[in-house]
Structure 1
Amino acid sequence: MIASVEGTVLDVGLDRVVVQLGGVGVLVHTTPGTAAAQRLGSQTMLATSLVVREDSLTLYGFASADERSVFEIVQTVSGVGPRLALAMLAVLSPGEVAAAVSGGDIAVLTRVPGIGKKGAERLVLELRDKLLGLADSPGQSPTNIETPAAQGPWRDQVRDALVGLGWNAKQAETGIEAVLSRGEVVSGVGGPDVPTLLKAALRELGR
């Protein structure tokens, strides 16, 4: 198993980064929050989990070992795959997942797109004693800068990413508007910082 990667950040997407290991660029799938914390040309170290399928080898990266633990443990529940496990960590911190599961808080778990009441009940039933002791990973505080222009290619990118995570287009637009109205993103040439806006919108939709 590849437990971690450390190297130079070659590329950053909404939910993935490319890390240079020696002379090889390794694609690592992440949560939007983890991707937003990366900077081109900087050094990074990510805890990782390799998911092996018959036709693919996919590497997932996390800001902490706790995130990786949650990602791996929740997949032991029937019906929970890597995509849904990653969506959980996009909406909830490891500590929030652990607290919701141990406390049987169905309402919190169903905030994750793709998890309904029955799925949440199954998570609680099967994982109640398996996530104890997980702490919250430190989060990044949003930077309050001037509100960016309301339209641009960045808006489509963020909306498409939110829809890909399970929200519908109307919910995605609502989340984006709420974040923009509070000025929680960095506005630069061509619009706001997309990964940061996506992370803020995820936080808004997960309320």
Structure 2
Amino acid sequence: MIASVRGTVLHVGLDHVVVEVGGVGLHVHTTPSTAAASSTGREVTLATTLVVREESLTLYGFDGTEARALFEQVQTVSGVGPRLALAMLSVHSPDGVRQAIAGGDLVALTKVPGIGKKGAERIVLELKDKILASGVEPSLAGPAETAAGGDGTGRQVHEALVGLGWNAKQAEQAIDRVRSAGSAPTSVAEFLRAALRELGR
């Protein structure tokens, strides 16, 4: 089990980074927001989990152990694999995922590409009690949708949305809706989450 990696970022993609550790470049799958927060040439530390399959060894990285723990926990649900678990953390923050499960918020869960109503119901059924037992309080209101500011931020979010499977026009429309919604977030991650919520409407 590779629990963490620390090293120099050699490359930043839409949903991955390549980190040099001991002269070896490790391809680490991440959420778009984690990738966007990384910079080529700078050192990064990621909490990681290694998924072993017959034909592959795939490394997934997170900006903290909380996200990694949730990534592993949601995969205990039948039908949820690592890519779907990563998509959940791309659309929502770890707290957002936990609150959606604790509150039985199927609308929030089905905003994740690949999760339909039945899948969301199964996730809630299998994890709700565990999430509530950990002390998470279900949210009575959805997360605030905020507008983005800055062309550089918009470009990064546009690239991330296209990388996640939406076409360029859909990405542009989501970004425009976020920008017209109200106050501006200060990070690419919050902007991306707001755009993903718009796409899930």
Asked if 1 retains the 8 angstrom alpha-carbon contact of 2:161 and 2:171, the reply is yes
2:162 match: 160
- Residue 127 of structure 1 corresponds to which residue in structure 2? 127
2:130 counterpart SS class? coil
Change (3 A) 1:44 1:113: same
TM-score, normalising length: structure 1: 0.76
Equivalent residue for 1:118?
118
Once residues 155 and 92 of structure 1 are traced to their aligned partners in structure 2, the CA distance between those partners, rounded to angstroms, is 15
Distance in 1 (CA, whole Å) between partners of 2:157 and 2:95 is 30
- Structure 2 runs not aligned, ≥5 long: 138-145
Match of 1:200 in 2: 191
Bigger shift: 55-64 or 92-101?
Answer: 92-101
Match of 1:178 in 2: 177
Residue equivalent to 2:7: 7
Does the 8 Å CA contact 2:12/2:40 hold for their aligned counterparts?
yes
Distance in 2, Cα, partners of 1:6 & 1:113: 30
Specify the alignment match of 2:52 in structure 1: 52
Q: Which amino acid aligns with 2:174?
A: G
- Please state how far the C-alpha of 1:104 moved relative to its aligned partner: 1.1
What SS class does the counterpart of residue 130 from structure 1 fall into? helix
1:180 deviation in Å?
6.5
> Which residue does 2:140 correspond to in 1?
none
For structure 1, the 5+ residue unaligned runs are 136-140, 187-194
After TM superposition, give the deviation of residue 157 of structure 1 in Å: 4.2
User: Which amino acid letter does the alignment assign opposite residue 72 of structure 1?
Assistant: E
Query: Per the alignment, do residues 37 and 143 of structure 1 end up closer, same or farther by CA in structure 2, a change over 3 Å counting?
Result: farther
Q: Determine which of 144, 150, 159 is the counterpart of 2:149.
A: 144
The root-mean-square deviation of aligned C-alpha atoms, in Å, is 3.2
- Secondary structure of the residue that 2:34 maps to in structure 1? helix
The whole-number CA distance in structure 2 between the counterparts of 1:19 and 1:94 is 23
User: Is the 1:175–1:202 contact (alpha carbons within 8 Å) kept by the matching residues of 2?
Assistant: no
Measured after TM superposition, the shift of residue 86 of structure 1 is 0.5
CA contact (8 A) 2:47 2:68 kept: yes
SS of residue matched to 1:20: strand
- Which residue of structure 1 lines up, in the alignment, with residue 143 of structure 2? none
Supply the distance in 2 between the matched residues of 1:16 and 1:85 (Cα, whole angstroms). 15
Given that residues 32 and 199 in structure 1 are in contact (C-alpha distance below 8 angstroms), is that contact kept between their aligned partners in structure 2? no
Instruction: Give the whole-Å Cα distance in 1 for the aligned partners of 2:33 and 2:14.
Output: 9
| Distance apart, 1:168 and its partner CA | 6.0
Please report the TM-score for the alignment, with normalisation by the length of structure 2: 0.78
The 5 A counterparts of 1:64-79 are: 64-79=64-79
Residue 45 and residue 134 in structure 1: after superposition, are their counterparts in 2 closer, same or farther (change >3 A)? farther
Q: C-alpha displacement at 1:115, in angstroms?
A: 1.0
